[in-house]
Structure 1
């Protein structure tokens, strides 16, 4: 399932990653560069498997760890209402 940011969520890229701001509640999340890479891959139309492959290529991590981390981040973004 493609990932899309929810209505009212804005992003700002920083030297340290990406900040996601819920404009309705004022709450924000800060993603590190790894989380930013995953989010960008997903928002650009990739699926979780694509994001895991990108992590494996960019960092010293196993495919199973990358898949787990991508799944966790995606679940957290959805459960927090930042993405659907």
Structure 2
């Protein structure tokens, strides 16, 4: 499942992650580096397993189970906030 940003959501990289702005509502979300890494992977067409592998590569002490759980949590939160859509 890859993701795309909703048309009225823009993303900007920051020094320690990413900021998402919902231009329709004026609300914004700040993602930490790990959440930004997962989102970038999914926006680039990767599957959740690819995002979890990227997360583990960035954080070698992270277990595969934790990386999978974190990826699922991040994905669910982004979908629930209606910042992204599944494509």
Structure 1: gaps spanning 5 or more residues: none
Structure 2: gaps spanning 5 or more residues: none
TM-score (norm 2): 0.92
Which has the higher relative contact order, 1 or 2, with Cα contacts under 8 A spaced 6 or more apart?
Answer: 2
Q: Corresponding residue for 2:2?
A: 2
Q: Corresponding residue for 1:48?
A: 48
Cα separation, 1, equivalents of 2:63 and 2:55:
9
Structure 1 residues 21-40: aligned runs within 5 Å: 21-40=21-40
The total of aligned residue pairs comes to 84
Higher strand share: 2
TM-score (norm 1): 0.95
